[in-house]
Amino acid sequence: MYTQALNTAETDDRGLEDAGKAAQFQARVDAEERIEPNDWMPAAYRKTLTRQISQHAHSEIVGMLPEGNWITRAPTLRRKAALLAKVQDECGHGLYLYAAAETLGSSREELVDAMLAGKAKYSSIFNYPTLTWADIGTIGWLVDGAAIMNQIPLCRCSYGPYARAMIRVCKEESFHQRQGYEIMLTLCRGSDEQKAMAQDALNRWWWPVLMMFGPPDATSQHSDTSTKWKIKRFSNDELRQKFVDATVPQAQYLGLTIPDPGMTQDADGHWRYSEIDWSEFKQVLAGNGPCNRDRIAARRKAHEEGAWVREAAAAYAAKRARRQTAQAAE
Amino acid sequence: MATPNTPLWEVFIRSRNGLAHKHVGSLHANDATMALQAARDIYTRRGEGLSIWVVPSTAITASDPAEKGMMFEPAESKIYRHPTFYEVPEEVGHM
C-alpha cells in the first residue's frame, strides 16, 4: 500500500540507529524479503532510494521532451499515434515512480520542486537534442533498450513499491523499443538519404547511450551499499556489456555501423568497446550538455503555466467540501 | 515557491468479471471525479480494467508491521484449520 501518512514517524530513527534493528533489516534483505513502506529501514537506505526513485521519475518526465519535439512532425499518422502513446507512457512511468518515491516520506510536490530548482538530477541522456526523425527511432531502440537493461533487475529490488512500479514499467517499455527499431528498419530499407539519416543518429547517440549505465565500476560512488541492500543487482559495467552484446547484432541486421572502429569480439563472443569519454559525461552531468538549460526551462514553463489549473481544481474541491459540510449541518 | 500538496488516492482495479478489485497503486487528485479520470489514464492504458475504485489514502487504516507477530499469531498456531491436518484413508479417494 502506498500510504504516505503512515511514514511520518520514521524520521525519529535518523541519527542514532539501533544496531539490532539494522542487523534485522539486513537479514530480511539477505533473505530476499521485500521491504515495505512502513517497515523499519536505515535512514541511509531511505535517502538512497528517495534519491534514486525520484531521479528515475524526473528522467521519465524530462524524457517526454526530446520525443514530444517530433509528435507534430511524425511522418505518418501511424507513427504519430505510436509516438503519442509512447510519450503518454513515459508520463505514466513518471507518475508510478513518484508514487513509489512518496512512500519513503517525501511529497511529490517536494520532489518536483527539487527538480525544477535544479537540485535533483535526471538522466543525462535527455540533455541531447533530437535533430531528425531517425533520432526518434534511435531513442526507442537504444535509449529504451538501455533503460530496459537497467530496469529488469530493478523488478527484484528489495524495496517493494519500487520493484512493483518497475514491473509495470518494464511491461510497457517493450513496445517502446520495438517501435523504435521498426522506425530504424524502415529508414534502413529506404532511400540512401534515409539510411544515412539512421546512421547519423546512431553515430550521435551511441556513446551517450553507453554512458547511461553510469560511471565504470571502479569509480562509482553508490554501488557498494546499493548492492548490499539489493537495490542494485548488477554492476554498471556488467549491464553495459550485456547491452552492447545484445545491440551489436541488431545494428548488423539494420546494416548500420557502430561508431567504434576499435570494437572487437572476444573469444567468448562479447563485444569489447573502446574507452568511453567520461569527461563528456561529467560535463553533461554538470549542466553543460547541449540541452540542459532548455529542458529545465521547458519543465518550469509547463509547471508555471499549469499553476492556474492546479489552483482551480483545489478551489473547486474546497468549495464542494464546504457545501457538503453545510448541507450535512442543516 | 513550494507547491501545496494535492490529496493522495489509492487505486483498485477489477481486471475481469469475477475477480476482485486489486490495489494497483496511488495517485494525486483534488476530488473523486478527477481521481477516477486520472486512474483511467494512469492505470488502464492497455485495457487492464473493467472497473475502478479510488479511495482517499487517509481513509485507510492499516495494521502496524511492528506488531505483525502478535497480530497474526492466532492463525499461525492453528494448523487444524487446514485440510491437510486430517487423515483420510487412501481407499476413500480424493476428498
Domain count, chain B: 1
pLDDT of amino acid B64: 84
Model confidence at A220, pLDDT cuts 50, 70, 90, reads low
**Chain A interface residues facing chain B, Cβ-Cβ under 8 Å?**
1-6, 36, 38-40, 85, 88-89, 92, 95-96, 99, 102, 107-110, 112-113, 164-165, 168, 172, 310, 313-314, 316-317, 320
- Domain assignment present for residue A327? The answer is no
With pLDDT > 70 as the criterion, what percentage of chain A qualifies?
A: 94
Of residues A129 and B64, more confidently modeled: A129
Radius of gyration of chain A (CA): 22
Contact state of A85 with B3 under an 8 Å Cβ cutoff: no
Distance CA A86, CA A73 (A): 15
**CA of B89 to nearest chain A CA: how many angstroms apart?**
38
Q: What is the mean pLDDT of residues A17-31?
A: 91
Candidates A107, A109, A313; nearest CB to B34:
A313
Q: What is the mean pLDDT of residues B17-28?
A: 90
- The most confident of the ranges A270-274, A279-283, A324-328, B4-8 is A270-274
- CATH classification of the domain holding A78: 1.20.1260.10
Distance CA A181, CA B58 (A): 44
- Domain assignment present for residue A307? The answer is no
Contact state of A38 with B26 under an 8 Å Cβ cutoff: no
- Domain assignment present for residue A104? The answer is yes
pLDDT of amino acid B66: 79
CA–centroid distance for A216 within its chain? 19
Name the amino acid, one letter, at A195. Answer: K
- For residue A320, the chain B residue with the least C-alpha distance is B31
Instruction: Return the HEC string of A83-113.
Output: HHHHHHHHHHHHHHHHHHHHCCCCCHHHHHH
Q: What is the mean pLDDT of residues A82-95?
A: 96
- For residue A161, the chain B residue with the least C-alpha distance is B25
Q: What is the mean pLDDT of residues A288-300?
A: 95
The whole-chain average pLDDT of chain A stands at 91
Of residues B47 and A251, more confidently modeled: A251
Q: Which domain holds residue B31?
A: 8-62
**CA of A302 to nearest chain B CA: how many angstroms apart?**
14
Q: Which domain holds residue A194?
A: 19-289
Within 10 angstroms of residue A182's Cβ, the number of other Cβ atoms is 15
> Which grid cell sits at A19?
544496531
Count CA atoms within 13 Å of residue A193 on its CB side: 2
Contact state of B4 with A313 under an 8 Å Cβ cutoff: no
Within 10 angstroms of residue A141's Cβ, the number of other Cβ atoms is 29
> pLDDT at residue A307 above 60?
yes
Residue A102: C-alpha distances to residues A4, A117, A322, B37 (Å):
6, 19, 28, 21
- Domain assignment present for residue B25? The answer is yes
- Domain assignment present for residue A52? The answer is yes
- For residue B40, the chain A residue with the least C-alpha distance is A92
Distance CA A111, CA A6 (A): 18
- Domain assignment present for residue B73? The answer is no
Distance CA A130, CA A62 (A): 13
- Domain assignment present for residue A148? The answer is yes
Instruction: Region of A9 please: left (phi>0), alpha (psi -120 to 50) or beta.
Output: alpha
Instruction: Region of A13 please: left (phi>0), alpha (psi -120 to 50) or beta.
Output: alpha
> pLDDT at residue A15 above 60?
no
Contact state of A313 with B31 under an 8 Å Cβ cutoff: yes
Position of cell 530496469? A151
- Domain assignment present for residue A232? The answer is yes
pLDDT digits (tens, 9 = 90+) for A102-131: 999 999 999 999 999 999 999 999 999 999
Helix residue ranges, H only, chain B: 32-43, 68-76
Give the pTM.
Answer: 0.89
- CATH classification of the domain holding B53: 3.10.20.520
Model confidence at B48, pLDDT cuts 50, 70, 90, reads confident
Domain count, chain A: 1
pLDDT of amino acid B90: 92
pLDDT of amino acid A11: 43
> pLDDT at residue A7 above 70?
no
**CA of B95 to nearest chain A CA: how many angstroms apart?**
35
Closest CA to A159 of A15, A9, A235, A54: A54
Helix (DSSP H) and strand (DSSP E) numbers for chain A: 14, 2
- Domain assignment present for residue B32? The answer is yes
Residues of B in contact with A164 (CB under 8 A): 25
